[in-house]
Amino acid sequence: MVRWRAGTVTALRREWTGAVELDVELTDGSAMRALAYPELVGRPAPGDRVLLNAGALLMGLGTGGYALVVALPDRLPADPVEAGDTRDAGHLVKARYTPLQPILLGVDEEASPHRAALEAAEDVTGLPVVTADLHSALPAILAGVRADAPDARVAYVLTDGGALPAWFSRTLDGLRDQLVGTVSVGQAFGGDLEATTVHSGLLAARHVLAADVVILAQGPGNLGTGTRWGYSGVAVGEAVNAIAALGGRPVGSLRISDADPRPRHQGVSHHSLTAYGRVALAPADLVVPDGLGPALAREVDAALAPLSGRHRIVRVPTDGLDAALRASAVPLSTMGRGLDADYAYFLAAAAAGRHAAALAR
C-alpha cells in the first residue's frame, strides 16, 4: 500500500512538459528526490510543504524511482478556469476513483470540436499501426519511420499499462516536435487528446491528427511478474485485434534481444510470443530485421515458426537504420541498456517503423 512521507521542498531540479523534479527534506532530516505534476497538484516552490507517496522509491523500482507529490497542503492550486459543474469542459474521469482522478475533455465528447468527425468515423482506412510492448521502443520505431519517410505524420497512442500520466515520460517530451500528437487512452491521461478506449484513440489519431503512421505502446514503468501472462505489455495482442477491427494494418515490433540476461527474454521475448501468438486473434505483420547474428537469427526463426500460420513474418532490410538510430532525438535505453548494449532490440523496433512507413505510401 502507500508509504507516506512529508517534507519541505529545498530545490527544483529538471523540468519537462507536465512534470517538475524536486529535492525534498523529510521531517526526519533525510533527503528524497520527488516528482510533481503541476496540472494535478500545483507548481511546487522551495519552502513548500509536500505530502509524498514514497513507496516506489523506497522499494528501489527503477522507472518509478521518485517519490510522487500527492499534495501541497498549504498552497492548493486554484480551480480550473472552466466551470466544473457542467460537461462543457469534458467529463472523462481517468485514474478513476483514486484521490488524484483528473476530469478531462474526451476527443469524442459532445463538447469536443472533433465530435462530428469521430461520430462519423467507421474505420482507420488501412492506417499502419506499430505495436510495441515497451515504451523504450517508441524512439527507435520513430527513427525507422523517419529513415524512409521524413515527412510522415506520426502519432503516438499511449495505453495504460505503464505510467498513466504522459507527463512522466522524458522520452515523449523529447519527441514532441517529431510527432503530430499523443492520444492517451483508457486510464492514461495527459496526451494532446484524451480517448476512452484504444479504438477511439486510433480513430482520433487518424481522423483528428491525420496520422500516416501510429505507434502504440504503454508508458514507461510496465508491470511484470516474470510469468507468461502477468505482464502489462501482453495487451498489445488486444491492440492488434482493435486495429484489425477498425480496418488498420497491425505491425508488430518484436522484442528481440541477445543481451538480456534473463533467458525468457532472449531471442524473441516470451512476452512477444504470448501477445502475438496467444492474445492476438487477428493477423499482423511481425517484423524481423535483416542483419541479426547467425545464432540469434536462428533462434528468432525457430521462435516465430509457430506464429507463421496466423501472422505474416516480414523480413526488412536494415541499411541506413544504424545511422537513423544514432541520430535519435532522445537517448535510446531499455532496461538500462543503450543502443550498442542491446543492438538487436532497437534494430528490430526501427525495422518495424521502416515497414510501417512502406505501408503508408
Strands (E), the chain: 4-16, 19-26, 31-36, 49-53, 67-71, 92-93, 103-104, 128-132, 154-159, 181-184, 193-194, 213-218, 249-253, 256-257, 267-268, 285-289, 312-316
212, 360 contact by CB (below 8 A) = yes
pLDDT tens per residue, range 282-316: 999 999 999 899 999 999 999 999 999 999 999 99
| pLDDT-based confidence at residue 336 (cuts at 50, 70, 90) | confident
The owner of cell 519527441 is: 175
pLDDT tens per residue, range 176-189: 999 999 999 999 99
Nearest to 16 by CA among 179, 165, 222, 139: 165
* Averaged pLDDT for residues 207-224: 94
Torsion angle, CA of 235/181/41/134, rounded to 10 degrees? 30
For the chain, state the CA radius of gyration.
21
Helix (H, G, I), strand (E, B) or coil at 119: helix
Q: How far apart are CA 192 and CA 154, in angstroms?
A: 13
Whether residue 329 has pLDDT greater than 90 = yes
Model pLDDT, residue 263: 66
Model pLDDT, residue 226: 79
| pLDDT-based confidence at residue 221 (cuts at 50, 70, 90) | confident
* Averaged pLDDT for residues 116-143: 96
The count of other CB atoms within 10 Å of the CB of residue 302 is 11
158, 184 contact by CB (below 8 A) = yes
In which element (H, E) is residue 349 found? helix 343-359
Model pLDDT, residue 73: 96
Helix and strand numbers (H, E) in the chain are: 11, 17
Whether residue 83 has pLDDT greater than 90 = no
Q: How far apart are CA 34 and CA 141, in angstroms?
A: 30
**Cα atoms in the 13 Å half-sphere on the side-chain side of 354:** 24
Whether residue 64 has pLDDT greater than 80 = no
Please give the model's pTM, rounded to 2 decimal places. Answer: 0.94
Nearest to 235 by CA among 133, 94, 128, 127: 133
| pLDDT greater at residue 328 or residue 231 | 328
- Angle at which helices 137-148 and 343-359 cross, to 10°: 50
Nearest to 254 by CA among 142, 135, 349, 357: 349
Q: Which of 45-49, 257-261, 346-350 has the lowest mean pLDDT?
A: 257-261
